[in-house]
Structure 1
Amino acid sequence: MIYLIYGFQLPVIKKTLKNLISKCLNGEEINDFNFEKVSSRLVLVQDIVFDAMSLPLMSSHKVLVVSEPYYLSSEKEKTSLDKDQDYDKLVKYINNPSEHTDLIFFLEAKNVDTKNEVYKAIKEHGKIISQEVLTENMLMSMGNSIFVKKGVKINENALEELVHRCGDDVAKFTNEANKLCLYKNEINIDDVKIMVSLRLEDNAFNIVDALINNKINKALKIYYDLRINKEEPVRLIALIASQFRFMLEVKYLISLGYNNAKIADILQTKPYRVDRTLKTTFNIKYNQVLKVQEYLFDLDYQIKSGNKDPYYAFELFLINFNDIAK
């Protein structure tokens, strides 16, 4: 059987791979005779075909995992192997695979190239397993498992705050949970706020919220803290502009009579983000948001053109926000 496992959260797809290997081997312990792993960056596809066709020694079945199959990713890249790759041979094998080998392509990527001939062959003759969308409930469950295994207690509010601060970054979530386990045996929300830093996206939202609510000093403090951590103003400008653009979309959909849940569904985001944005939108008008968007677009251009110092220009934007949004 031929499989393709792909996704952008490595811990998630690694777990999927582990479960699939166990299933393919019927629970047998992995050894040198029934399992092999190769990298597409080091091995030609025709050599992978040769390995897949070779009979397993001292075993009736084997699993061959092909990591980093870059040719299946939507983000194209060139490697030194490209000129020697025989993709036709790989496609022919996928169309008529060996019965004694399970061939698993394992790709860490958000999207795949659906027009690629290898992908088309796998889709027709094999099975494609994409990373499932992680919900907050799934992350909460994952977090509970981590803390229970470590013998650490964490209350629900603290766990919710941890999920919020890590978003859908499973690797960060796992690392931060393990760090908290080393910190104390009983974790509360204050511990999470002390130990786990906010994502840059959340800091950008907090800056926007402070500006709209005329708390310029608070916005400046957040910016100064981020500057200490060497965050670039250009990146902040992009995130803040994105938040204002999201605000425009929410305002428009609200005017059409949609509720929060429907807006979250239309914009493909979490209801929590819509709820937070709505609380802010009441204090700023549609045309004011447009003015801010236009200013940020010009500011980004001026900085990237070298006409303005990024740190000084961004600080002036924060200080003069009320005049900009008039």
Structure 2
Amino acid sequence: MNYTLIGSESYLRKRKLNQLKKEHDINDMNLITFDYTKDTMDHILEECNTMPFFSEHKMVVIQNCTFFGASNKDTVDELVHYLEAPNPTTIVVLDYDGKKDARKKVGKDLAKLTKEFRFEQISEEERNRMIREECQKRQITMDQGALREFQIRVGLDLNRLYTELDKLELHGGQITKEVIEALISRPIEDDTFLLSNAIFTHDTKKVFSLIRDFKQNNVEIIALIGLLAAQFRFLVQVQTLKNEGYSNDNIARELSTSPGRIWHTVKNVGQYRKEDLLTILKDLSILDQDIKTGRIDKQQGFEVFLLKHTM
């Protein structure tokens, strides 16, 4: 049996892979991992056709199977041909962190030749159920304020959810909002949202306060420029889809994000002029190029950008 693990929820894909390894009794010696974007298909298939070491089966995991996505035009005919008559001692696992394009022939062919498991991003309702179950299992008690703050800080990232619950389990006892604030950092995306909002409302004091927070968290200016550009691009996308009549849920599905994030964005996006958003995006792009080509000092250039758009 060969498998496809597909979807944006990396925690659940990883957990399923571990289950498959256990089901097929795969040890480290017989686990081989490839990256489709870096390794040649000839090399991968050569490994698939070799025998396992002192075991009934071996497992070949092919990560980053971008041929499932809409933008990749690869047909991977050699892989399809191999899976039509696979080596019975090799278990192939195709792994893709993204959305499958259902229109593509390669996706349809591989769905027939492998057992497919999909792991899309969980909903807020599913996330909240998991938190309740894990808290009960770990004997963690949170008051309502702590629970709300925990939900905000972990978002829909299951890797982060379980990591932060491990911290709270070590703390033990009654978990308050103050405990959450002390132990669990705010997602960088939240601070980016606050920064973009402060820039638009010309709140210079708030802008430079947030910049200090980013520095304390060792966020480089180049990385921050990228985060801001992604946030303003997101605002343009939400505004465009809203103007075209999309509901919040449909926008969330279209942009592969949580309904909660869309709800918070839609509340504010009406106050932004699209022309202003595009101007900021253009200025960020120019700043990024000027810094990377050495035409301007990154600190000075970023401060000039902030002052231009907040004064």
Shift of 1:48: 4.2
Q: Which residue of 1 aligns with 2:154?
A: 166
Q: How does 1:254-269 map to 2 (within 5 A)?
A: 254-269=242-257
Residue of structure 1 in register with 2:5 after alignment:
5
Query: Using the alignment, how far apart are the partners of 1:71 and 1:199 within structure 2?
Result: 25
SS of 1:103's partner is strand
Shift of 1:222: 0.9
Amino acid at match of 1:66: V
TM-score by length of 2: 0.75
Alpha-carbon distance change, 45 to 186 in structure 1, aligned in 2, over 3 angstroms: same
1:51 is matched with 51
Residues 1:267 and 1:14: Cα distance change in structure 2 (over 3 Å): closer
Amino acid at match of 2:235: M
SS in structure 2 at match of 1:105: strand
Residue among 53, 57, 60 paired with 1:66: 60
Rounded to whole Å, the distance in 2 between the matches of 1:121 and 1:285 is 46
- 1:219 corresponds to 2:207: yes
Q: Which has the larger radius of gyration?
A: 1
Check whether the contact 1:3–1:105 (CA below 8 A) recurs between aligned residues: yes
SS at match of 1:65: strand
Equivalent of residue 131 in structure 2, options 143, 150, 155 = 143
Q: Which one of the candidate residues 179, 189, 206 is aligned to 2:177?
A: 189
Residues 291/149 of structure 1: CA separation in 2 closer, same or farther (3 Å cut): same
* 5+ residue gaps, structure 2: 35-42, 69-76
Are residue 245 (structure 1) and residue 222 (structure 2) matched? Answer: no
Opposite residue 85 of structure 2, the aligned amino acid is: N
Cα contact 1:264–1:270 (8 A) shared by 2: yes
TM-superposition CA deviations, 1:132-159 (whole Å, max 9, x none): 3322222223323332222111245534
Offset, 1:18: 4.4
Provide Cα deviations, 1:167-212, integer angstroms capped at 9, x if missing partner: 3432222111111222232223332222211222211111011222
Tell me, in whole angstroms, the C-alpha distance in 2 between the residues paired with 1:273 and 1:113.
24
Aligned to 2:265: 277
Q: Using the TM superposition, give the Cα deviation of residue 108 of structure 1 relative to its aligned residue in structure 2, in angstroms.
A: 6.7
Q: Counterpart amino acid of 2:212?
A: Y
Change (3 A) 1:190 1:5: same
Relative distance call for 1:296 and 1:12 in structure 2 (3 A) is same
CA contact (8 A) 2:63 2:94 kept: no
Letter of the 2:309 partner, please give it.
F
Once the two structures are overlaid, the 10-residue window that deviates more, 176-185 or 127-136, is 127-136
Q: CA deviation at 1:121?
A: 6.8
Separation in 1 of the partners of 2:248 and 2:108? 39
What secondary structure sits across from 1:214 in the alignment? coil
CA RMSD of aligned residues (A): 4.0
Mapping 1:87-102, distance limit 5 Å: 94-97=83-86
Question: What letter is aligned with 2:11?
Answer: P
- Identity in percent: 25
Q: TM-score, length-normalised on structure 1? A: 0.72
- SS across alignment from 1:320: helix
Q: Tell me how far apart the structure 2 counterparts of residues 66 and 47 of structure 1 sit (CA, whole Å).
A: 8
Question: In structure 2, how many angstroms separate the alpha carbons of the residues matched to 1:265 and 1:7?
Answer: 13
Native 8 Å contact 1:140 1:159 kept in 2: no
1:301: Cα distance to partner? Answer: 2.0
Which letter does structure 1 place at the counterpart of 2:203?
K
- Residue of structure 1 equivalent to 2:17: 17
Q: Does 1:38 align with 2:26?
A: no
- Aligned equivalents of 1:40 and 1:119: distance in 2? 21
Residue-pair matches, total: 296
Which residue, 223, 227, 232 being the options, matches 1:235? 223
Report the 3-state secondary structure (helix = DSSP H, G, I; strand = E; otherwise coil) of the residue aligned with 2:30: strand
**What's the offset of the Cα at 1:311?**
1.8
The one-letter code sitting in structure 2 at the alignment partner of 1:231 is: V
Rounded to whole Å, the distance in 1 between the matches of 2:235 and 2:100 is: 31
SS in 1 for 2:5: strand
